[in-house]
Amino acid sequence: MSGFFNSCQNQMKYNEEDESQKGINKATKGGIVYGEYLQLDKVLNAQVLQSQQRGDKIHDEHLFIVTHQAYELWFKQILWELDSVRDLFIKKHVRDERNMLKVVSRIHRITMIFKLLVEQFAVLETMTALDFFDFREYLSPASGFQSLQFRLLEAKIGVADHLRVPYNRRHYRDNFHGQESETLLSSEQEPTLLQLVEKWLERTPGLENDGFNFWGKLQANIEEGLKMEKHKLEKMEDSEVKEDLLAELNKQTEVFTALFDPKRHEHLLSKGERRLSYKALQGALMINFYREEPRFQVPFQLLTALMEIDTLMTKWRYNHVCMVHRMIGSKAGTGGSSGYHYLRSTVSDRYKVFVDLFNLATFLVPRSWVPKLNPSIHKFPYMAEYYDSSYNSCSSEDSD
């Protein structure tokens, strides 16, 4: 896995004639070894049992520590991917379709990590309530609620501040202090993944009123479709079936009337039941309907992966709740906010960031109602077409 390419590449990259290359080569030869590279002296010396510190070593506390450290390691990796994706959206590259593979791959990687984190509960669940009881006293007042990285992760994805369940009647940020509190606050001021995706969706080609005008065409088609449907139903002989069908048609009509009403959208936004701007919602629906167009294949994969993140975070929360129930019971009836009930309340659609993408399923229509593309509209331009000319001057982007 080493040798030639090391040296020759180093040489080419840095200084073709530099005599120090031999030094580099030797260093490579002697080189860094596995344990140093991974800084195992730090990682493997960070397991200090509080029970042991108090002279009462409890075997299972080691598992408790290692499991939580593994969670934090993976949270760090998720933040690494998340920051890089946000960065790709923020920078000028955002207009470059060439970055979409990176974006989708990294979001996909986050979902793979979350899957692992959901599995990981199975290991901690080998600890029984009794094993935990033996050392849980020593942990106070440390609590998983204090995981800065998890809060950052929520904030950066876009969990809304005002939709959070309060913790012991306090704002969640009040549980952090000093540097940590500032880090949280400043992260809340950066654009969230949700906001960046929103901006990106708003630029979906085909939404332009003076161009393909997807939204206008869709509204017209749906209204026409519903009208024809009503007309047809009304001609049916009176029967229970007819009544049912008319009732459903009315319901359906209401749904679509609401969809095309911008004020209704603002209202739902203000209540937190929608999170995307009206324009972005239109873009998302458009990508769904035309997902097989080459231009929209990878964007469609992105929307799917974003829903996956939401789903997995909510599964993670739910698995967490289940574990806590095993470990400390529900403590029903003893009063006071129990960890179990607090956690349970966070397994809620209020914590779903991309809730609008899920709810798109409510607005599907028969394929024949979807506005037709015609050959000249068919090829939505890639942003990259405007970008080509500057291509050679941007080679550093690749190393991001």
Instruction: Using CB under 8 A, pick the residue from 22, 91, 171, 227 that binds a second copy.
Output: 22
Q: Which stretch binds a second copy (CB under 8 A): 93-101, 155-163, 181-189, 213-221?
A: 93-101
Give the x-and-dash track for 168-187 against a second copy (CB under 8 A): ------------x-------
* Cα atoms in the 13 Å half-sphere on the side-chain side of 371: 21
- The beta strands (E) that lie in 208-340 are given as none
d(CA 384, CA 99): 10
Q: Which stretch binds a second copy (CB under 8 A): 108-116, 156-164, 189-197, 211-219?
A: 108-116
Q: Are 206 and 288 in contact (CB under 8 A)?
A: no
Question: Nearer to a second copy by C-beta: 104 or 155?
Answer: 104
Q: Please, which of residues 371-400 interact with a second copy by CB under 8 A?
A: 372-375, 378-379, 382, 384-385, 388-389, 391-392, 398-400
13 touches a second copy (CB under 8 A): yes
Q: Identify the CA nearest to 288 among candidates 271, 280, 300, 298.
A: 300
Neighbours of 364 (CB within 10 A): 12
Tokens of 282: 């239109």
Question: Nearer to a second copy by C-beta: 151 or 209?
Answer: 151
270 touches a second copy (CB under 8 A): no
Residue with tokens 């207009």: 95
251 touches a second copy (CB under 8 A): yes
User: Which alpha helices (H) appear in 97-175, and where do they start and end?
Assistant: 100-124, 129-139, 148-157
Count of residues in contact with a second copy, rule CB under 8 A:
172
Q: Which stretch binds a second copy (CB under 8 A): 156-164, 190-198, 208-216, 242-250?
A: 242-250
Q: Please, which of residues 188-227 interact with a second copy by CB under 8 A?
A: none
Question: Nearer to a second copy by C-beta: 168 or 209?
Answer: 168
d(CA 199, CA 202): 5
List, as one string, the DSSP characters of 33-48. Answer: -HHHHTTHHHHTT---
Give the x-and-dash track for 334-363 against a second copy (CB under 8 A): xxx--x-------x-x--------xxxxxx
Q: Identify the CA nearest to 374 among candidates 301, 300, 290, 291.
A: 290
**In the complex, what is the shortest distance from the CB of residue 271 to a second copy, in angstroms, rounded to a whole number?**
10
10 touches a second copy (CB under 8 A): yes
The residues pairing with 167 across neighbouring beta strands, listed in sequence order, are 170
Q: Please, which of residues 152-171 interact with a second copy by CB under 8 A?
A: none
Establish whether the linkage from the previous residue to 141 is cis, with ω within 30° of 0: yes
Question: Nearer to a second copy by C-beta: 210 or 398?
Answer: 398
d(CA 399, CA 254): 51
Question: Nearer to a second copy by C-beta: 202 or 323?
Answer: 323
Angle in degrees, CA 305, 311, 315, rounded to 5: 140
Q: Which stretch binds a second copy (CB under 8 A): 182-190, 194-202, 206-214, 240-248?
A: 240-248
**In the complex, what is the shortest distance from the CB of residue 169 to a second copy, in angstroms, rounded to a whole number?**
17
Q: Please, which of residues 117-146 interact with a second copy by CB under 8 A?
A: 119-120, 122-123, 125-126, 128-130, 133-134, 136-146
Listed as own residue / partner, the contacts of 376-381 with beta carbons closer than 8 Å and 24 or more positions apart are 377/206, 377/212, 378/293, 379/295, 380/205, 380/206, 380/293, 380/295, 380/296, 381/205
Instruction: Using CB under 8 A, pick the residue from 9, 168, 257, 337 that binds a second copy.
Output: 9
Question: Nearer to a second copy by C-beta: 100 or 353?
Answer: 100
